[in-house]
Amino acid sequence: MSVLPGQLFRAASGGVRIIQRFTPQQANLHWLECAEWRLEPGAQSASTTMTGRESLLFQWKGSSTVAVDNRQITLAPYDVLYLPLDTPFSIAAGEPAALIQCSATAANRHPFHVSRFAELSQRDDRIRRLKGKNVYLMFDVGEAADKLVAGYTFFEPYARSWPPHNHTDQEEAYIFIKGSGAMEVYETEESLSFVHSVAEGDIVTIPFLNYHPVFSQAEPLEFIWCIAGERYWVGDKNKDFLTGKLNRLTT
């Protein structure tokens, strides 16, 4: 047996960092949790399994390659990869890269699925155009999963969510990936007492029955929305959401 040399890993060398952003208990949620992956150039993660959970990987910055099920899946910015229940995977990057991972408890195993932003952002059936914003349905109900549905919303400057809406059967997280703005989360208008400013990297969780409007400011604002629960997007379930003529909406 040949003797191999040891390796030095400097304290300042980043390698791979997995940052837990929230657990269900921290976020007042039932199923949804979130982590952030940061990879330095040339980094390769160990194999990871989310036991009892299905996951979505959102390629936020740079590009990466995910090794899963004897395949190498390369993700470009804003691509989304669905990882089935109890699936081992690892991530490598040749350049600085950042990914967001949202996971939810699941009981069933569904097929892998890759959503390419370059493709879906050109398909009218995957875009919902609202006043001052576009919604991109990246992992929609046509893709099999137990609980997860997700996409991106891109706000123009000085736009807001309308009408305010809440859900009886979905919990949600908004992960802000570009720009800055503000967001409210409240049960009733009477209990609405402050507005949070939000910027790149901030996350807001939305438990059941909370209204959750977003406001952009002088620059465009982009965020991931990830749902766990019943599988629909609010505007597809209730067309009144698209008209903007209601003062509030519950689904």
Q: Tell me what the mean pLDDT of segment 223-248 comes to.
A: 88
Is the backbone of residue 105 left (phi > 0), alpha (psi -120 to 50) or beta? Answer: beta
What is the structure's pLDDT at 247? 80
- What are φ and ψ of residue 31, in 5° steps? -125, -30
* 8 has pLDDT over 80: no
3-class DSSP assignment, residue 49: strand
- In the predicted model, what is the mean pLDDT of the chain? 94
**249 confidence band (pLDDT: 50, 70, 90):** confident
- CATH fold, domain 16-115, is Jelly Rolls (2.60.120)
Predicted TM-score of the model (pTM): 0.94
**Which residue ranges does the chain devote to CATH 2.60.120.10?**
16-115, 124-242
Topology, domain 124-242 = Jelly Rolls (2.60.120)
Q: How many CA atoms lie within 13 A of 219 on its CB side?
A: 9
Residue 17 has pLDDT above 80, yes or no: yes
SS3 content of the chain, % helix, strand, coil (to 5): 10, 45, 45
Distance separating the N- and C-terminal Cα atoms of the chain: 65
